[in-house]
Amino acid sequence: MFHALRFRLTLWYALVLAAVLAVFGVSLYGLVRYQLVRHHDAALTEAAAAVARVLSEQEDCEHLTDSQRAELDGIGHLVLFHEVEGEGRVFYRSPDSAAVEIPLDSRAATAPAGAGSFDTLSGKPELLRMYSVPYRSRAGRRGLIHVVHGLGDVPAPLASLRLALLLMAPLAVLLSAAGGYWLAGRALAPVDDVTRLAREIGASSLGRRLPPPKAQDEIGRLVDTLNQMIARLESSFEAMKRFTADASHELRGPLATMRSAIDVALSRPREHSEYRDALASVGEDVDRLRDIAEELLVLARADAGRIAIERHPVRLDVVTTEVVESFEALAAERGVSLCARCVEAVTVAGDERWLRQLVFNLLDNAVKFSAPAKAGERPSVSIEVAEDDGAGLLRVADTGPGIPEQALLRIFERFYRADDARSYQGEGVGLGLSIAAWVVEAHGGRIWAANRPDGGSLFTVSLPVARL
Ligand code: ADP
């Protein structure tokens, strides 16, 4: 429970509220106390001025006349006037000041004459507010006038305020925390629902979705995002299932052929040449299995992000020409003419090893699938490299059967083979274009296939050129 978001939200809320109330209470208390204490300040300054006026009638303020004493007695506040220098004699003290213990502070005496200062003293028996002002007599004698007012009426309201604050603040925090806990529970209830429903969705029920939210608030957006995530999971799970099924199917083919070749060879004693033929046929299947395993490994490593694509300036035209040259023997053997006439110098940013693989896979298909477009014509593959609008373009066209319209996008999927290509099953597995598409994507480029108007297919690759 203590780890629940609801509890932590309430705790934070209560803590913040308590801190705010504490600051508010302390400030309020301080303000009220300040106002109560300085309530008499104006009267104290006036009284001090009256004392000074009386004293100014004297040459040296030492021997006050009776009328002057009577005037000072009538001021109504406790008044004390004493000498600062010498023995610090007290010249005058109002009659009722004896009952009050006034802690005298001579620091005020250092202030220039007339510049008074206020103090709040915890005198006995009550709090005192004192105004002290230095005085210099006509004869040059320095003294200090203190006018004091008892603040007996201040502590009582302050105590009530303190009590009210101390009682009310915790109560307010407690009530708000309870309210906050309830509100947090209400606000978070949909999250609990979503969690429960999401928990029920497993690998076998990825087709299920969370119920669409009523409002497009935070929870609504969370549900939408989770649904989109489940949809992505579902499609990659499906792709993975398809991939595994296709992969095992592709592996079973050559294995079954190998098995039957071996069974036939062993069914009865044979000539050496027959064993050699059987082994050669098994060897072909082993090659095919090795090719499949290598291509699968490339795709698996690419999926896991374990193939680092380095970006260096690479001459696409040079790489293409080299790959074309490596295909010349095979093309000649199959009677296909390779034509790489429009090859401009283009430098793209990429990884030469993988760009070579890309060109290889496209040419491999083109040579494999090319057939005479028209009777009597020689099958041909034409290759073009050009730069257009900041992109390096590679075009590989052939005179083969082309690609059925509905398969144009799907041929880049793993293990996908268009029907027309079934007759070539012995040669490909349907991974070459997936690898080509991955290489292009890893380079930040694009690849697409189209059918040429006069027959055959055209593959175009666009790669970002290197900024030199
Ligand atoms: P593979 O060539 O091993 O079958 P790919 O991934 O290279 O696999 O190609 C997938 C499919 O795309 C091929 O089986 C074929 O149907 C189609 N395809 C690829 N290149 C061509 C092409 N040049 N002409 C016609 N169809 C092609």
Q: Domain of 245? A: 218-303
Q: Are strands 337-339 and 380-388 parallel, antiparallel or unpaired?
A: parallel
Which residue minimizes the CA distance to atom 19 of ligand 1? 365
Count up the domains in the chain and report the number: 3
Please tell me the distance between residue 418's alpha carbon and the centre of ligand 1 in angstroms.
Answer: 7
Nearest residue to 340 (alpha-carbon basis) of 364, 372, 363, 356: 363
Please tell me the distance between residue 429's alpha carbon and the centre of ligand 1 in angstroms.
Answer: 9
User: Is 284 found in the same domain as 190?
Assistant: no
Which parts of the chain register pLDDT below 50?
A: 420-425
Please tell me the distance between residue 422's alpha carbon and the centre of ligand 1 in angstroms.
Answer: 10
**pLDDT value for 423:** 43
Provide the whole-model pTM.
0.60
* Structure tokens, 451: 């059918």
Q: Is residue 203 part of a domain?
A: no
Q: Which of 403, 451, 459 to mutate to test the pocket of ligand 1 (most atoms within 8 A of CB)?
A: 403
**pLDDT value for 135:** 80
What does pLDDT average to over the chain? 87
User: Is 388 found in the same domain as 273?
Assistant: no
User: Is 318 found in the same domain as 290?
Assistant: no
Which residue minimizes the CA distance to atom 14 of ligand 1? 417
As for ligand 1, residues whose beta carbon falls within 6 Å of it are 361, 365-366, 369, 398, 400-401, 403, 411, 416-418, 421, 428-434, 457
Q: Which of 246, 295, 369, 458 to mutate to test the pocket of ligand 1 (most atoms within 8 A of CB)?
A: 369
Residues 6+ apart with CB under 8 A from 275: 265
Q: Is residue 180 part of a domain?
A: yes
Please tell me the distance between residue 245's alpha carbon and the centre of ligand 1 in angstroms.
Answer: 20
Please tell me the distance between residue 305's alpha carbon and the centre of ligand 1 in angstroms.
Answer: 25
Q: Quick: pLDDT tens for 256-285.
A: 999 999 999 999 999 999 999 999 999 999
**pLDDT value for 191:** 85
Please tell me the distance between residue 16's alpha carbon and the centre of ligand 1 in angstroms.
Answer: 67
- Looking at 254, 286, 303, the residue that finishes a domain is 303
**pLDDT value for 420:** 47
Please tell me the distance between residue 389's alpha carbon and the centre of ligand 1 in angstroms.
Answer: 29
Residue 6 belongs to domain with CATH number: 3.30.450
- Looking at 162, 197, 232, the residue that finishes a domain is 197
Q: Quick: pLDDT tens for 340-388.
A: 988 999 999 999 999 999 999 999 999 999 877 677 788 999 999 999 9
